[in-house]
Structure 1
Amino acid sequence: MTYVMRPARPDDLEAMYEMAKLTGGGFTNLPANRPALEAKLARSAEAISRTSDELADDLFVLVLEDAETGAIRGTCQIFSRVGMSWPFYSYRITSHTAYSRELDRTFRNQSLQFVTDLEGSSEVGGLFLHPSARAGGLGLLLARSRYLFIAMHRARFADRLLAELRGIVDGHGNSPFWDGVAGRFFGMSFREADDFNALNGNQFIADLMPRHPIYTAMISDDARAAIGVPHESGRPAMRMLEDEGFAWENYIDIFDGGPTMTIRTDSVKTIAASQRATVDSVDPANGRKGIVATGHLADFRCCLSRIQANEDGSVAIEARARQALCVAADDSVCWATR
């Protein structure tokens, strides 16, 4: 069975909606709301159709398709520049140390600073793999296809890249971080706030959130324990980000307290290791497992394959990969192995 990544189309709406219903909430980039998903697909189609090659406020939605049946089994998103339509808010964790000579005691405290430090970055997010397809390295294909897309359209993306990981949310859709911090200022549940943000943006946060630092010693134990901790289902995604070189630099999501990972775009391992080559006409005799992509914007396609680099600068990829990518001998591809 062969799977291929491609840009989403408007007719993928129902498949996207069915996947969104499986997320369990707290997944802002994939809301279980048809109008919101339809708007995302329309925005992605607009970005795909834009011919000028510069950094703009684009959203690219990619989907994982079963090349044999056409079934959609995963999705991911790339935002070219956050903070354009509305501010991109984060909490930054800062530390404070005070010393009392009379008590001969040192006190160390942390506070949450309400910031927009990450505005202007590109963002990878919205990664979701259907439960029936969580095997065979498809999670890596979903994640790494975004980096080859960026490498192949580099002028459209910023020099810094971020990824927000979902924080702790319980089986009832409640967030201990939201309940202990922001929820006290808004009079709504985490689910209500998250749904409102997914549909309307987060300007309401700026309107109501206090601007002064929040000392973590003054919030509940449950809220404090959730700071910078990813949801259990997001731990594999965090490991994949760390494998690419992303690091947590004390930025967290203002809703659920999940960690925001960052990296310089050109330092992402898949981007740095990506190479261009022409396709050989034969299968690789040996080769290493990797990903290979072809096409520009609407024609972008990416799949897994064994890849063998030849001395003449060409690469041999598996016949099923050539078929899935619709490439033949001497066509150009972008590839990376690890």
Structure 2
Amino acid sequence: MLVVRPSQFADLPSIERLLHATDARVTTLPKERDKLSEKITTSEDAFASGLDQDGPAAFLFVLEDSDQQQLLGTSGLDTEAGGGYPFFNYRLDEVVHASHNLNVSAKVPILFLSHELTGKTLLRSFSIEPSLKKTDAFELLSRARLLFIACLPERFQRQVIVEVQGIFDEKGDCPFWDGVGRHFFGIDFNTADYYCSVKSKTFMSELIPQHPVYVPLLPERARNTIGQNQQAANRACSLFYREGFEKTPFIDPFDGGPVLSGEVRDLHTVKQVRFKKARPSDVVGGLKYLICNRSLKDFRCTIGTLVDGIGETIRLPLDVAEALGVSEGDPIAYAPL
């Protein structure tokens, strides 16, 4: 059975293998072993600290085939984007240039460096075994984070954001970075991406000018990729739009990909979630649901069939109850798949 659970230090080799196997660029999960182990340790501390932890926390989940004991994916969740430091993006806006004498007026698109999204809850670190991209496992791994938020709303912000991977060409080059960031940093995208993964976006404030960037002055290849996502991210975007996320004026400062945002209370998973007590038993039929326990430290989420009804309890298939680690009377949460 496929189960989403908190990452553990023992997962390190499997996460390394997964990061090399997937075609997604997961900046927030560095391939450097020491830094990756730090990310896992930070997550373990977040899950172990309880709800009384002060300051930002970063949770890292893994998708595991419990029968084969094989790790198949990762997804992350930060209570506060930036982790206590500025979280930089470009904001796409317009300025009006006009001359009354010449009777000329024009709206010019412009990029402003911004850290307005600092402190918002951030979805990050999504990677999945390529063979599972078109299966329910994709939705389980991504939406389990939203079910986690629904169970612990006091730990998260009212607004959730996610940065979607931008455009890269067939050679692996990033037109937006080559047209903007490279001029100020003097390094290629992969090097900048590495610095971001082992440090944070805060290094941008040390090198990049604070002046706005006039979009028409950029190379055409860079202009055409602003706010556009890589084809490999289409499935993720479709899921987020279905959840209620929308495009924002913000873009990733490295690859120019879109930043999506949604109010927690308006997200489909959060609005549809129900809370009841488990009654493990033999269950036949029913509809598919995302189902999780309501533990912080030992959080588990999987897909199972339920027959919903009135009352404070719900019959839970025995294999699902075992996967979630719940017994008679334990609280669970579930939302339609």
User: Normalization by structure 1: what TM-score?
Assistant: 0.94
Residue number in structure 2 paired with 1:168? 167
Residue number in structure 2 paired with 1:124? 123
Q: Residue 150 of structure 1: CA displacement? A: 1.1
Identity %: 28
Q: Which amino acid aligns with 1:42?
A: T
Q: Which amino acid aligns with 1:243?
A: R
Write the mapping of 1:51-200 to structure 2, written as runs, cut at 5 A.
Answer: 51-53=50-52, 56-100=55-99, 104-200=103-199
> What do the CA deviations read for 1:197-242 (whole angstroms, capped 9, x no partner)?
1012222210111111111000000000110011111111111111
Q: 20-29 vs 164-173, which deviates more?
A: 20-29
Residue number in structure 1 paired with 2:27? 28
Q: 22-31 vs 253-262, which deviates more?
A: 22-31
Write the mapping of 1:234-273 to structure 2, written as runs, cut at 5 A.
Answer: 234-273=233-272
Residue 127 to residue 185, structure 1, CA distance change in 2 (3 Å) = same
> What is the CA RMSD across the aligned residues, in angstroms?
1.8
Give the match's secondary structure for 1:197. helix
Q: Does the 8 A contact of 2:22 with 2:130 survive in 1?
A: no
Q: Which amino acid aligns with 1:326?
A: G
Residue 162 to residue 240, structure 1, CA distance change in 2 (3 Å) = same
Counterparts of 1:262 and 1:322, CA distance in 2 = 33
Give the match's secondary structure for 1:194. helix
Residue number in structure 2 paired with 1:293? 292
Give the match's secondary structure for 2:279. coil
Q: Residue 293 of structure 1: CA displacement? A: 0.1
Q: Which amino acid aligns with 1:312?
A: G
Q: Which amino acid aligns with 1:124?
A: L
Q: Residue 163 of structure 1: CA displacement? A: 0.4
1:7 maps onto 2:14 in alignment: no
User: Normalization by structure 2: what TM-score?
Assistant: 0.94
Give the match's secondary structure for 1:299. coil
Q: 49-58 vs 74-83, which deviates more?
A: 49-58
Q: Which amino acid aligns with 2:172?
A: G
Give the match's secondary structure for 1:63. strand
Q: Does the 8 A contact of 1:177 with 1:227 survive in 2?
A: yes
Residue number in structure 2 paired with 1:278? 277
Q: Which amino acid aligns with 1:35?
A: D
Counterparts of 1:287 and 1:105, CA distance in 2 = 65
Q: Does the 8 A contact of 1:166 with 1:258 survive in 2?
A: yes
Residue number in structure 2 paired with 1:46? 45
Counterparts of 2:8 and 2:313, CA distance in 1 = 32
Which consecutive residues of structure 1, in runs of 5 or more, have no partner in the other structure?
A: none
Q: 285-294 vs 208-217, which deviates more?
A: 285-294
Q: Which amino acid aligns with 2:133?
A: R
